[in-house]
């Protein structure tokens, strides 16, 4: 049986939620910049139950979480790195407190690839989502440079030989949705895997978008560059079988 949650001082809550050092958080409270359930609190030693606590800092509303789980619609020309080399970092799309508390991406997307990206400060969750042993399915929408007559699909299903790989790499599933469009599902996370597989099968990728992880599709109402929290049910669906292919 889990122990009941104990009240925690407001400055400690703010520190854990990524609003700075303990000292800086005490200053925020003393300055009257923090409210809990709409009531300004000026005592940093006031205690509250953390999980689900509704608070605001400088008028910006927040909900306290022991750990955060986010889905982000990654645009192109954004790097999944804390130290980007040529483009904006994906972390620049998140509020500062999330980065301060150490959220990390569960896997990567190339700079020129858009789509679903999951981030969390729960290390075990991130490891489970990226571990090769879990074989979590990732669904990609692929636009080809050259239209295909079906031979490409056959090669991807049968397995293609990638450079520096001992065994052929096989797609978990692949469906041709148009002459120049495929929906490809992989359960591995090799470097540039989709592009390398398409090239090895005799074509090239013109556009690439990751539309789902497991059974969780990128929400249709989440614009590029925006994020939201994942619900517990959505987190579980990340490890489930992928959705049925959408044929054109």
The CATH number for 188's domain is 3.30.70.1560
pLDDT value of residue 3: 66
Those residues with Cβ within 8 angstroms of residue 81's Cβ, 6 or more apart along the chain or in another chain: 89, 90
Q: 159 by DSSP, 3-state: which?
A: coil
Instruction: Please check whether residues 21 and 117 belong to one and the same domain.
Output: no
Residue 245 in domain: no
Angle made by CA atoms 133, 235, 244, in degrees to the nearest 5: 75
Q: What are phi and psi of 214, to 5 degrees?
A: 60, -135
Instruction: Please check whether residues 191 and 227 belong to one and the same domain.
Output: no
Residue 2 in domain: no
- Tell me the residue range of the domain where 86 lies: 69-132+215-237
Instruction: Please check whether residues 14 and 54 belong to one and the same domain.
Output: yes
pLDDT value of residue 84: 74
Write out the two tokens for 133.
């042993």
Instruction: Please check whether residues 187 and 169 belong to one and the same domain.
Output: yes
Instruction: Please check whether residues 125 and 32 belong to one and the same domain.
Output: no
The CATH number assigned to the domain holding 126 equals: 3.30.70.580
pLDDT value of residue 247: 58
Residue 247 in domain: no
Please tell me the pTM assigned to this model: 0.90
pLDDT value of residue 164: 82
How many independent structural domains does the chain possess?
A: 3
Per-residue pLDDT of the chain (248 residues; tens, 9 = 90+): 556 779 999 999 999 999 999 999 999 999 999 999 999 999 999 999 999 999 999 999 999 999 999 999 999 999 998 887 888 999 999 999 999 999 999 998 999 999 999 999 999 999 999 998 899 999 999 999 999 887 899 999 999 989 888 889 999 999 999 999 999 999 988 888 999 999 999 999 999 999 999 999 999 999 999 999 999 999 999 999 887 666 54
Which residues are marked as active site?
110
Residues found in the chain: 248
Residue 243 in domain: no
d(CA 82, CA 129) in angstroms, rounded, equals: 20
Those residues with Cβ within 8 angstroms of residue 185's Cβ, 6 or more apart along the chain or in another chain: 137, 138, 139, 140, 171, 172, 173, 174, 242
Instruction: Please check whether residues 153 and 187 belong to one and the same domain.
Output: yes
Q: Are 213 and 70 in contact (CB under 8 A)?
A: no
pLDDT value of residue 119: 98
pLDDT value of residue 88: 92
Q: Are 14 and 25 in contact (CB under 8 A)?
A: yes
Angle made by CA atoms 82, 85, 88, in degrees to the nearest 5: 65
Instruction: Please check whether residues 51 and 84 belong to one and the same domain.
Output: no
Element (H, E) at 157: helix 151-158
Q: What are phi and psi of 81, to 5 degrees?
A: -160, 150
pLDDT value of residue 230: 97
Residue 162 in domain: yes
């Amino acid at each position: 049986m889990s122990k009941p949650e104990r009240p925690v001082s407001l400055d400690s809550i703010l520190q854990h939620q990524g609003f700075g050092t303990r000292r800086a958080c005490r200053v925020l409270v003393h300055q009257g910049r923090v409210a809990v359930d709409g009531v300004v609190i000026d005592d940093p030693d006031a205690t509250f139950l953390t999980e689900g606590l509704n608070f605001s800092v400088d008028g910006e509303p927040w909900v306290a979480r022991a750990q955060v789980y986010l889905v982000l619609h990654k645009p192109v020309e954004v790097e999944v790195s804390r130290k980007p080399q040529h483009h904006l970092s994906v972390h620049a799309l998140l509020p500062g407190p999330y980065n301060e508390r150490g959220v990390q991406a569960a896997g990567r997307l190339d700079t020129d690839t858009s789509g679903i990206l999951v981030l969390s400060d729960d290390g075990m969750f991130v490891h489970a989502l990226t571990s090769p042993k879990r074989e979590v399915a990732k669904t990609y929408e692929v636009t080809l440079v050259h239209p295909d007559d079906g031979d490409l699909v056959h090669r991807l299903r049968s397995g293609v030989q990638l450079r520096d790989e001992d065994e052929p790499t096989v797609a978990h599933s692949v469906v041709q949705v148009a002459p120049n469009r495929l929906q490809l599902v992989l359960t591995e996370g090799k470097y540039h895997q989709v592009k390398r597989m398409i090239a090895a099968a005799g074509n090239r990728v013109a556009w690439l978008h990751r539309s789902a992880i497991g059974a969780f599709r990128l929400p249709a109402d989440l614009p590029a560059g925006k994020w939201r929290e994942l619900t517990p049910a959505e987190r579980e669906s990340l490890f489930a079988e992928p959705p049925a292919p959408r044929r054109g």
